[in-house]
Amino acid sequence: MMAKFWGKSGNIKEEILKDFPIFKRKINGKRLIYLDSTATSQKPIQVLDVIYDFYSKVNSNVHRGIYRLSEEATEAYEKSREKVRKFINAASIREVVFTKGATESLNMVAMSWGLQNIKKDDNIVLTIMEHHSNMLPWRRVARLKKAKVYYIPITSDGFLDLSYLDKIKDAQVLAVTHVSNVLGTINPIRELAKWIHEKGGIIVVDGAQSTPHMPVDIKQLNVDFFAFSGHKMLGPTGIGVLYGREKILEETEPFLLGGEMIKKVSMNDEEWSDLPWKFEAGTPNFVGAVALGMAIDYLKSLGMFWVRKHEKKLTKYAIELLSKIPSIKIYGPLDVNYRGGVVSFTMNNVHPHDIATLLDEDGIAIRSGHHCAQPLHEYLGVAATARASFYIYNWEEDIEALYSSLLKIHKMFNE
pLDDT digits (tens, 9 = 90+) for 295-351: 999 999 999 999 999 999 999 999 999 999 999 999 999 999 999 999 999 999 999
| Pair type for strands 148-152 and 96-99 | unpaired
* pLDDT over 70 at 9, yes or no: no
User: pLDDT class for 390, splitting at 50, 70, 90?
Assistant: very high
Q: Residue range 29-45: average pLDDT? A: 98
Q: Which of 372, 375, 395, 413 is flagged as catalytic? A: 372
Whole-number Å distance between alpha carbons of 387 and 371: 9
Q: DSSP per residue over 254-302, as a string?
A: PSS-SGGGEEEE-SS-EEEPSTTGGG--SS--HHHHHHHHHHHHHHHHH
pLDDT at 1: 43
Amino acid at 375: P
pLDDT at 288: 98
Nearest to 292 by CA among 33, 54, 4: 54
User: pLDDT class for 2, splitting at 50, 70, 90?
Assistant: very low
- Whether cis (ω within 30° of 0) applies to the bond prior to 276 is yes
Domains of the chain: 50-300 (3.40.640.10), 303-414 (3.90.1150.10)
Arithmetic mean of pLDDT over the chain = 95
Q: Residue range 57-83: average pLDDT? A: 94
- For the stretch 155-159, contacts whose Cβ atoms lie closer than 8 Å and that sit 24 or more positions apart, written own/partner, are 157/332, 157/333, 157/334, 158/183, 158/184, 158/185, 158/331, 158/332, 158/333, 159/185, 159/333, 159/338
pLDDT-wise least confident of 61-75, 110-124, 249-263? 249-263
pLDDT at 6: 61
Q: Residue range 64-93: average pLDDT? A: 95
Region at 258 (left for phi over 0; alpha for psi -120 to 50; beta for the rest): left
Say what percent of the chain tops pLDDT 90. 89
Strand ranges (E), 159-220: 173-177, 202-206
Of residues 399 and 1, more confidence is placed in: 399
pLDDT at 8: 60
Q: Is 372 a catalytic residue?
A: yes
Report the Cα–Cα distance between both ends of the chain, in Å, rounded.
Answer: 57
pLDDT digits (tens, 9 = 90+) for 137-179: 999 999 999 999 999 999 999 999 999 999 999 999 999 999 9
| Distance, C-alpha 285 to centroid of its chain | 18
Are 356 and 315 in contact by the 8 Å Cβ rule? The answer is no
pLDDT digits (tens, 9 = 90+) for 220-275: 999 999 999 999 999 999 999 999 999 999 999 988 777 666 667 667 777 777 87
